[in-house]
Structure 1
Amino acid sequence: MDGKLAIIGLGSIGSMALWQASRLTDSVVGFEAHSPAHARSAAGGDTRLFRMIYRGNPAYYPILSRSRELWAELEAETGQGILTRCGGLSIGTSDGSYLKSLLETTRVTGAIHQVLSRGEMAERYPQHNLRPDDIAVYDPHAGALRTDRAITAAITAAEANGATVNTNTPIDSITETDNGVVITSGANSWTFERVIVASGAWSKQLMPEYLRAHTETKRIFLSWFVAREAEQFSPEKFPVFIRISGDRSMYGAPAVDGVTVKATLDGRGAPTPAADSVPRDLTPDEISETTETVSEFFPGLIPSIVRSDAYPDLFTSDSQPLMGFLSESSRIYSATGYSGAGFKMATGYGEIAASEALGKRWFDGLDFLRPQRFQES
């Protein structure tokens, strides 16, 4: 045996699983095909939104709550500022399905929030140009996660706890044997008691066929703009936001670098043949729709994209992650398929994956995430 646990992929979830596993054992090894927080991973683009207010399955709320605690623990353990606590806004039409669904989920979870009228928004957050029937829901616990800092901090903390990290080591195959799990990279091989696969869009080649049929690699693009008055879009004055108003939708984050504001079209993930061949440049249509939306939503931003990029992520057919062993007898644990929405809960997902893969704790109530849901269908 080369160790109790191997973690393949040290990006959004794998880095957090490595950190959490290093708290539970001194025999964990991480494998990264490139370098930590490399520019082509799904975590690229500097920031991701953290929020406690959302629409959808209320079963995510305990993971979000635990993730919030763990982000603070990672900051304290490493001295890195990872979560910019600036609050968050969900904006939409007062009688539209977006806010109706969001508030219904919030009633179930009990998440702290405040409904802001159009007038209150104009007073508190005049950066937003609202339509006549728009209102907002304010989330005081929301903020912007610094992705590069988060990943490198988690890996640094794991190494300090005794974890081993192998960079520039792409894994070619995983094979279960009577004695453990054998993984290979070129001419090299290792054997571990158990393995976590957390390699995002690159996970598909390591999956059994029943999961490949229910996953798809998609391209997610991001865009940034310069503010006419940078101070108005600072984290102190401009919360993260998601806006779905009629025919337009956008999400974004304040100028955490003091210069550029992230403002990106929402829900535009498009299929791409492979994770290594994602087109990085925006198409003319993407540029046109993005700048038109920014022109309407944010008069304080110069409507010209100053920075853009695109990244791959693995989506499942039901948009829920794949978390759990591949079967009851398997030693391979899946932690992938976060469908463009995993980073805010990365610390919580990492704790779940590490704890379950090492046999330390099993988390109930997560059947909707287990890979077997597709095997049974």
Structure 2
Amino acid sequence: MAETVHTDTVVVGLGAMGSQALWQLARRGVPAVGVEQFAPGHDRGSSHGESRIIRTAYVEGAEYVPFVRAAWEHWADLERASGQDLLLRTGTLMAGAPGSGAVTGALTAAAHHGLAHEHLSPEQARARFPHHRFAAGEEAVVEEEGGVLLPEAAIGTAVRLAREAGARVLTEAPVTRVVPDAERPSVWVGGTEIRARRVVVTAGSWLPRALPGLPDLGIRVERRVLGWFPVTGDPAAHSGGPVFARDEADGTLWYGFPSLDGRTVKIGVHAEAPGSRFAGAQWGEPVDPDEGPRAPDAEDAARLGRLAERLAGVGTEPERMAACMYTMTPDEHFLIGHRRELPGLVLAGGFSGHGFKFASAVGAALADLAQHGRTDLPIAMFDPHRWD
């Protein structure tokens, strides 16, 4: 039976960004409906895997620093509101050869924004972090403002608080159509039409499919694999250390976490150059989001194992692995804002690889855009019209 539901704002997709947007709207007293095709905190997209890095001296560009500082504040706000620990402060280690992107990017961001940091020589890096096997000449940048976010817990907490504040949440509810309109856009879930003043679309890898009227912006969906490797040495060496990212001489940028369970260390690859000795079929492999990424295999295990060799006291055979999807724009910066040909809608996408840390601030910005049509948060560089 067809049904029509009226509300102020609909949020399509309750992953990293949508869950935060729904909570921000609900806590402001805005009538809102959140729609999720699976269940909040699911493992079918890009927001699972137990841990995400947050860092402030931002390698991807110093212009991100004000936005990540806002995100720190909003994460703290979510923790206060929920009474839960969702962010573990560990500090950050960025390492690589002199002139590498990991080192120079962190130094540039830190200098531009006056961030407290240490620039370690190769000798200092080896002495300070003996559980890392650094190549000759590799140096490091260390900052205190870094840590681990717990993605599934953060998403579930935001959705719970949104419900408690009055939001209606529809789960296991695939959206069949989003209808733009300057005055009353709508979202169809089966035979139910949800009419609203604004619709926020945070559909992750499904963003182009959710919005057939969206021009081809070059959004691509790629497979990534994460591996949890056993700690074979002193567990304390890997339990208290910082989150890290390391830039290899052959162009591989990989990252990892301190051990959260006392038994394993999680690592993954963010980027690599063709011909890298760490390269594998994972890099650039397109994914149909409805089908999801193919399961990790022996080649993935061997590839990640070669990176695990760079850590002392860590085995090279993964205890387990998980596959996820990267959803990326051509310039690998985010999409946040309006598209003129899609009136009544607010879009957010292209966050994979480095977006989760910003989710709390993105949610606040999306709530601002839906409620007021503008935001004071620094999102100008994420304009969906920037390629025009």
* Structure 1 counterpart of 2:306: 292
* Conserved? CA contact 2:33–2:170, under 8 Å: yes
Residue identity matched to 1:309: A
- Deviation, structure 1 residue 209: 4.9
Query: Relative to structure 1, is the Cα distance of residues 98 and 26 closer, same or farther in structure 2, using a 3 angstrom cutoff?
Result: closer
Whether the 8 Å contact between 2:231 and 2:315 is mirrored in structure 1 is yes
Deviation, structure 1 residue 371:
1.1
Q: How does 1:130-279 map to 2 (within 5 A)?
A: 130-177=134-181, 179-228=183-232, 229-234=234-239, 237-247=240-250, 248-267=252-271, 270-279=284-293
1:287-323 CA distance string (max 9 Å, x none): 222111211x112101111111111232111111110
Provide structure 1 residue ranges, at least 5 long, that are not aligned to the other structure.
Answer: none
Answer yes or no: is 1:54 the counterpart of 2:61.
Answer: no
Q: Output aligned runs, 1:327-346, within 5 Å.
A: 327=340, 330-346=343-359
Q: Is the 8 A contact 1:82 1:150 kept in 2?
A: yes
* Residues 210 and 74 of structure 1, relative CA distance in 2, 3 Å threshold: closer
- Name the TM-score, length of structure 1 as normaliser: 0.93
C-alpha distance in structure 2 between counterparts of 1:208 and 1:109, whole Å: 40
Structure 1 residue 363 displacement after superposition: 3.2
Partner of 2:271: helix, strand, or coil? coil
Matched residue, 2:72? 68
Report Cα offsets for 1:147-205 as digits up to 9, x if no partner: 11111111111112111111111111111246501211222211111000001001121
Distance 1:207 1:313, change over 3 A: farther
Alignment correspondent of 2:84 = 80
CA–CA distance in structure 2, aligned partners of residues 70 and 188 of structure 1: 33
Partner of 1:120: 124
Which position in structure 1 is the counterpart of 2:23? 19
Pair 204,80 (structure 1): closer, same or farther in 2 beyond 3 Å: same
Give the deviation of 1:230 after TM superposition.
2.0
Instruction: Decide which moves more: 203-212 or 147-156.
Output: 203-212
Q: Which segment drifts farther, 39-48 or 120-129? A: 120-129
Q: Is the 8 A contact 1:84 1:143 kept in 2?
A: yes
> Is the Cα contact below 8 Å between 1:272 and 1:278 reproduced in 2?
no
Q: How many Å separate the matches in 2 of 1:211 and 1:252?
A: 36
**C-alpha spacing 1:273/1:126, structure 2 compared with 1 (3 Å):** closer
Structure 2, unpaired ranges of 5+:
273-282
CA distance in 1, matches of 2:31, 2:214: 31
Conservation of the 8 A alpha-carbon contact between 2:200 and 2:346: yes
**Among residues 371, 376, 384, which one is paired with 1:358 in the alignment?**
371
Question: Do 1:196 and 1:333's aligned partners in 2 also have CA atoms closer than 8 Å?
Answer: yes
The aligned residue for residue 322 of structure 1 is 335
Q: Is the 8 A contact 2:180 2:342 kept in 1?
A: no
Question: How big is the shift at 1:52?
Answer: 0.3
Aligned to 1:307: 320
Structure 2 CA distance for partners of 1:59 and 1:96, relative to 1, 3 Å: closer
Assess, with a 3 A threshold, how the Cα gap between structure 1 residues 364 and 164 changes in structure 2: closer, same or farther: closer
Name the CA distance, whole Å, in 2 between partners of 1:329 and 1:8.
15
* CA shift for structure 1 position 125: 1.8
The residue type equivalent to 1:292 in the other structure is: R
CA distance in 2, matches of 1:11, 1:253: 22
Of the structure 1 ranges 224-233 and 27-36, higher mean CA displacement relative to structure 2 is found in 224-233
Counterpart amino acid of residue 305 in structure 2: T
What is the letter of the counterpart of residue 304 of structure 1? E
Q: Does 1:368 align with 2:371?
A: no
- Superposed displacement of residue 341, structure 1: 1.4
Q: Which amino acid in the other structure matches residue 340 of structure 2? A: S
One-letter amino acid matched to 1:90: M
* Aligned partner of residue 155 in structure 1, secondary structure: helix
CA shift at 1:65, angstroms?
0.4
SS at match of 2:154: helix
Partners of 2:227 and 2:175 lie apart in 1 by 32
**Conserved in 1, the CA contact under 8 Å of 2:33 and 2:167?**
yes
